[in-house]
Chains A and B, each alone.
Chain A
Amino acid sequence: MSAAWRWPRVRPGGVVLALALLLLGRATAAAAATSYDIDQRYGSVGFSISELGLFDTEGNFRKFAGQIAIDPADPALTKIDVAIDVASVAMSSARAAKLVLSPAYFDVREHPAIRFRSTSVAAIGPNRYLVSGLLRIRGVTHPQQLMAVLTAEKIVGKDPPTAYFTVTGKLHRSAFGMTANENFLGDVVRIVIHIHLSLPEIAQAN
């Protein structure tokens, strides 16, 4: 998958500097947002769809990459930019995966990547954030809202704390031109994303 648009990786020296600045500047001004590279090592991107309203079929994308810029002191400064490798889709059967990659569905040959870029992030409750952004699937771009919930913070020994997020959302596949098998597959696709990030400093919610 092409990664021409990726920002340079944050160097360890830069992280230490940011950490030092954060620790020093904690009591006063808000710290700058720090950018993190994320990919499939830090979480999962899954989806599910209803069949005849009777049962669900699930899948996930094994490869994705992007950046999240987070300022723990100010969530509204968060920026997310992710690209998902469509060909990495995995489903319960190989034939289902093949169907989902076909032109009537994701059309992987024409559109090898799904892109999401956030436009705004708002804290809407304790540990809950509404992420608004633009989602591009199959060459079609639509606004998309995702609900990110901080589900856990783990502090292990001297390691930096790790924040676990569950991000959910729904979209209508027909909005992206995927109308095949309307008599069998639902239009609503549920998105479930899990991400964990090691942040040098995580501010307490409110």
Chain B
Amino acid sequence: MPRRTDAPLRWSPAQRRLHWAVAFLILLAFPIAWVMAAVPFEELLLKFLLFQVHKTLGLLVLIAALLRLVIRFRRGRPEWDPGLPGWQRKAAGRLHAALYVLLLVVPVLGYLVACTAPVQIPTLFFGILPVPAIVGESKPWFPLLLDLHRAAAIALVLLATGHAAAAIHNHRRDLPVLRRMWSG
């Protein structure tokens, strides 16, 4: 992340709200993924609806992540809390970067999975707006993209869990990191 000597004092309301919105969206989208895959084909409507919800959530994550990156580059982040030692700041910074990357990569991979799937089901954003497929059905690419999407999603959730655990840990050490993201 670029260093700014004129770093803001606190996380802006937009930064904070988008942060928690993304967390919430992922907390919904991830379990829905496992359920939607497990629902048997006999229950076609339910399966279809769960897939549409999952895809809509994923696209929302992508949009929110892009917005967050724009805001982050324009506004920057508040200074690291002085209570955090240098090595923790470095590690956290790298973890955040990895999270940003995954927030973009996972939805894009998911979109490509939908495009290359042998069962061509349209993606309807909020069940209304059709999302065009940039590539078509592909027997060789589909299983690969599906595995990558799953692996990246699991990595995202694991890293996010570590990120949350670290925040809670620091919060309990009376550092203001969590409070700053919650209420500014």
Contacts and interface: CB of A to CB of B under 8 A. Distances in A.
Interface string A178-204: 001101110000000000000000000
A96 interface: yes
A204 to B, nearest CB: 42
B41 A98 contact: yes
Given A92-B118, A92-B120, A93-B118, A52 B48 contact: yes
A92 to B, nearest CB: 5
A145 to B, nearest CB: 29
Interface string A40-73: 0000000000011011010000000000000000
Contact of B119 (A96, A181, A185): A96
Contacts of B42: 99, 102, 104, 180-181
Contacts of A57: 119
A184 B120 CA distance: 15
Interface residues of A, number: 18
Interface in B100-139: 118-122, 124
B175 to A, nearest CB: 51
Chain A interface secondary structure, helix, strand, loop or mixed?
loop
Interface string B39-52: 00110110010000
Nearest to A91: B119
Contacts of A184: 44-45, 48
Interface residues of B, number: 11
B77 to A, nearest CB: 43
Contacts of A102: 42
B48 A51 contact: yes
Interface in B17-74: 41-42, 44-45, 48
B121 A55 contact: yes
A157 B122 CA distance: 46
B122 A96 contact: no
Interface in A24-53: 51-52
Nearest to A95: B41
B153 to A, nearest CB: 22
B82 to A, nearest CB: 56
A12 B14 CA distance: 82
24 contacts: A51-B48, A52-B45, A54-B122, A54-B124, A55-B120, A55-B121, A55-B122, A57-B119, A92-B118, A92-B119, A95-B41, A96-B41, A96-B119, A99-B41, A102-B42, A104-B42, A180-B42, A181-B44, A181-B45, A183-B45, A184-B44, A184-B45, A184-B48, A185-B44
Interface of B: 41-42, 44-45, 48, 118-122, 124
